[in-house]
């Protein structure tokens, strides 16, 4: 095996989210680079400083921050390191980091439209107002470098960027081919399956992304890379990469089959499917459960098992070949 240049340290900080702690990875090589930046809370910042100190470093030593995706628990402390000159991530992370008001408005309109199309009852529309709430835990800053498929992390040429959209449109993973190590953000976690999440298209007028199909594609891409070990954003590092990916893909296919069977009774809209699929969680986790439901419907539509028709503003799904007058 060729000599490896970078040393990697893991820092772990608490978050106010149900997911619990989040990891950041410190690459020490030609640059001192943090992959991800935790969440913007005092507790997280205290934890970072303590752990850096234990390693013999301080916040001033960090020269770059590289972000796996735009979620608040991964980029909260971007601005806390005084000597950072490079903030790198996928171009789709930019409107989030730079708080693009036009994008946020479009984001809200997108969900309004999706709810309407999905047959969501009026009482849920109030949730749209909460879309900006998590922004208090995230950073406002500037993306100085964009990273896309195949590019190397600046100052760490061992590390290649792999686009892994699905959980987030901005999602990147980083692979060191020399020893098969992958820093995977939330793309692949060991203890929980990460959720493909609905997001609007980033270019106005484009069709919306279909996150579950993207997620499957990103998983298949990782399979082809022969990854030896994954350093994830949450939970333990792991080496059983291939069986885990196959398990995640199979589980998704089984859930899709469960959804398909629901259509034996006749056509349904996405909200009706969501109620049947997540009777216990739809109220408390509306956004997540709707994302998951629409993901499964996208998959069944893409694999030609379901077809769609419009009734007024609402989109209905039915078993392919069932017809509708
Ligand atoms: Zn995430």
Q: Residue 167 Cα, ligand 1 centroid: separation in angstroms?
A: 6
Which pLDDT value is given to residue 325?
A: 46
Q: Are 169 and 202 in contact (CB under 8 A)?
A: yes
Q: Residue 132 Cα, ligand 1 centroid: separation in angstroms?
A: 15
Angstrom distance (rounded) from CA 231 to CA 53: 22
Q: Residue 171 Cα, ligand 1 centroid: separation in angstroms?
A: 8
What sign results for the dihedral spanned by CA atoms 144, 219, 28, 26?
A: positive
How crowded is residue 49: how many other Cβ atoms within 10 Å of its Cβ? Answer: 15
Q: Which among 86, 80, 98 has a CA at the least distance from the CA of 41?
A: 80
Q: Residue 168 Cα, ligand 1 centroid: separation in angstroms?
A: 7
| Domains identified in the chain and CATH numbers | 257-319 (1.10.10.10)
Cβ neighbourhood burial of 72 (10 Å; 0-12, 13-18, 19+): buried
Angstrom distance (rounded) from CA 301 to CA 90: 29
Pair type for strands 156-163 and 172-176: antiparallel
Q: Residue 59 Cα, ligand 1 centroid: separation in angstroms?
A: 24
Q: Which two tokens stand for residue 256?
A: 């899709």
Which pLDDT value is given to residue 324?
A: 57
Angstrom distance (rounded) from CA 222 to CA 324: 40
Q: Each residue of 238-271: pLDDT tens digit?
A: 999 999 999 999 999 999 999 999 999 999 999 9
Q: Concatenated DSSP letters for 57-103?
A: --GGG--EEE-S---HHHHTTGGG-TT--EEEE-GGGHHHHTT-HHH
Strand partners, 28: 7, 32
Angstrom distance (rounded) from CA 257 to CA 238: 29
Which pLDDT value is given to residue 135?
A: 80
Q: Residue 186 Cα, ligand 1 centroid: separation in angstroms?
A: 5
Pair type for strands 145-146 and 86-89: parallel
Residue ranges of the alpha helices (H) in the chain?
42-54, 72-75, 94-97, 101-118, 211-223, 241-262, 270-277, 286-302
Angstrom distance (rounded) from CA 177 to CA 195: 27
- Enter the pTM of the model: 0.95
Which pLDDT value is given to residue 238?
A: 98
Apex 147 CA angle, 191 and 99, nearest 5: 85
Q: Residue 296 Cα, ligand 1 centroid: separation in angstroms?
A: 19
pLDDT < 70: residue spans in the chain: 1-2, 323-325
DSSP state of 30: S
Q: Which two tokens stand for residue 64?
A: 């770059």
Burial 247-258 (b: 16+ CB within 10 A, else e): ebeeebeebbee
Angstrom distance (rounded) from CA 230 to CA 186: 11
* Sheet with strand 22-28: strands edge to edge: 7-13, 22-28, 32-35, 64-66, 86-89, 145-146
Cβ neighbourhood burial of 39 (10 Å; 0-12, 13-18, 19+): buried
Which residues hold their Cβ within 5 A of ligand 1, which is an ion?
71, 186
Q: Residue 265 Cα, ligand 1 centroid: separation in angstroms?
A: 36
């Amino acid at each position: 095996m060729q000599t490896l240049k970078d040393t990697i340290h893991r820092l772990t900080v608490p978050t106010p989210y149900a997911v619990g702690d989040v990891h950041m990875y410190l690459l020490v090589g030609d640059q001192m680079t943090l992959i991800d930046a935790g969440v913007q809370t005092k507790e997280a910042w205290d934890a970072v400083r303590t752990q850096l100190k234990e390693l013999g470093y301080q916040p001033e030593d960090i020269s770059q921050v590289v972000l796996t995706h735009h979620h608040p628990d991964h980029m909260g402390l971007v601005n806390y390191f005084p000597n950072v000159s490079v903030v790198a991530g996928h171009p789709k992370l930019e409107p989030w980091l730079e708080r693009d008001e036009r994008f946020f408005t479009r984001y809200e309109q997108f969900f309004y439209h999706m709810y309407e199309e999905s047959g969501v009852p009026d009482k849920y529309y109030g949730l749209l107002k909460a879309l900006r709430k998590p922004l208090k835990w995230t950073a406002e800053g500037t993306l100085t470098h964009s990273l896309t498929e195949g590019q190397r992390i600046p100052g760490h040429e061992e590390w290649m960027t792999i686009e892994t959209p699905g959980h987030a449109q901005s999602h990147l993973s980083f692979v060191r081919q020399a020893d098969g190590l992958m820093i995977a953000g939330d793309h692949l976690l060991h203890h929980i399956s990460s959720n493909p999440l609905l997001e609007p298209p980033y270019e106005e007028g484009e069709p919306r992304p279909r996150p579950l199909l993207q997620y499957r594609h990103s998983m298949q891409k990782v399979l082809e890379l022969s990854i030896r070990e994954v350093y994830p954003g949450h939970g333990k590092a792991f080496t059983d990469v291939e069986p885990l990916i196959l398990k995640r893909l199979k589980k998704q296919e089984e859930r899709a089959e469960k959804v398909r069977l629901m259509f034996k009774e006749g056509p349904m809209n996405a909200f009706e499917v969501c109620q049947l699929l997540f009777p216990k969680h739809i109220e408390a986790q509306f956004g997540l459960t709707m994302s998951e439901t629409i993901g499964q419907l996208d998959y069944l539509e893409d694999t030609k098992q379901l077809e769609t028709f419009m009734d007024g503003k609402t989109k209905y799904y039915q078993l392919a070949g069932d017809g509708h007058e």
